[in-house]
């Protein structure tokens, strides 16, 4: 639950100032509470906010959102799996990544990647007390890319798809390689002189790779 809640909080903070807080928003929240106080659960199930007077129109529900454009979808329509077969061309170094990090990432993740609690996770740091997955029993110990992530390729995938939070998809592939190199070297996973590209990134083995197992549970409450 923690992650979705965090995202929701960030979106509210980030978008609150420019969200269309006018008629659409207030009409939706007023009618929703009327619907809720009106009572029975079956009526709530049939409830169509778009059908109320002043609402956006029958079937239009809350009248929020718009269809994603092809260009917007294509910014996220790529998957780089653990083997890294889909990694794109390009290359970058930790030094280049450090400069980018300062401009694009430090405001949220801290100048040294130490994170800003409670919303922005720590990215850098190998707290000795937390090694060996001890944050699993003591959540106060930080888990970071170095002491937690199973694959280096998915660090690239995550940054390319999701960061910076306010403009996902805005980084070039070379910039993502550079930022990945910076984060991996600062976490003591690769040498800081290493040039990261598709071939070299595929070779990187994360320290705690073997602590992860495939989740092949089949719909029952098996604890692995």
Confirm or reject binding of residue 194 to ligand HEC (CB under 6 A): no
Taking CB under 6 A as the rule, which mask of x and - marks residues 9-48 in contact with ligand HEC? -x--------------------------------------
Q: Which is nearer to ligand HEC, 51 or 165 (CB)?
A: 165
Q: Of these, 35, 158, 169, 208, which contacts ligand HEC (CB under 6 A)? A: 158
Supply the minimum distance, in Å, between the C-beta of residue 149 and ligand HEC: 7
User: Footprint of ligand HEC on residues 45-84 (CB under 6 A)?
Assistant: none
Supply the minimum distance, in Å, between the C-beta of residue 163 and ligand HEC: 4
Supply the minimum distance, in Å, between the C-beta of residue 51 and ligand HEC: 35
Q: Of these, 110, 121, 142, 146, which contacts ligand HEC (CB under 6 A)? A: 121
Taking CB under 6 A as the rule, which mask of x and - marks residues 133-152 in contact with ligand HEC? ------------x-------
Residues touching ligand HEC, count (CB under 6 A) = 22
Confirm or reject binding of residue 166 to ligand HEC (CB under 6 A): yes
DSSP per-residue codes, the chain: -HHHHHHHHHHHHHHTTTS-TTHHHHHHHHHHHHHHHH--HHHHHH--GGGSTTSS-TT-TT----PPPHHHHHHH-----TT-TTPPS-EEEHHHHHHHHHHHTHHHH-TTS--BTTTB---S---GGGTTTGGGT-TTS---HHHH-SBSHHHHHHHHHH-STTSTT-S-HHHHHHHHHHHHHHTTSS-TTPEEEHHHHHH-B-TTGGG-------SS----
């Amino acid at each position: 639950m923690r992650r979705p809640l965090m995202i929701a909080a960030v979106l509210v903070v980030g978008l609150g100032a420019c969200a269309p807080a006018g008629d659409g928003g207030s009409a939706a929240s007023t009618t929703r509470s009327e619907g809720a106080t009106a009572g029975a659960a079956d009526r709530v199930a049939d409830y169509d906010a778009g059908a109320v007077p002043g609402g956006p129109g029958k079937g239009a529900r809350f009248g929020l959102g718009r269809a994603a454009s092809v260009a917007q979808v294509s910014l996220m329509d790529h998957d780089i799996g653990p083997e890294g077969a889909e990694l794109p061309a390009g290359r970058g170094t930790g030094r280049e990544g450090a400069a980018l990090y300062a401009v694009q990432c430090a405001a949220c993740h801290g100048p040294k990647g130490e994170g800003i609690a409670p919303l922005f996770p720590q990215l850098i740091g190998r707290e000795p007390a937390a090694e060996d997955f001890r944050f699993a029993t003591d959540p106060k110990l930080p888990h970071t890319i170095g002491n937690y992530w199973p694959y280096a390729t998915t660090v690239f995938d995550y940054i390319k798809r999701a960061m910076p939070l306010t403009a996902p998809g805005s980084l070039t592939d070379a910039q993502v390689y550079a930022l990945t190199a910076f984060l991996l070297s600062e976490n003591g996973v690769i040498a800081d002189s290493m040039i990261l590209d598709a071939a070299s990134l595929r070779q990187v083995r994360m320290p705690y790779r073997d602590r992860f197992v495939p989740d092949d549970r089949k719909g029952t409450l098996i604890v692995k």
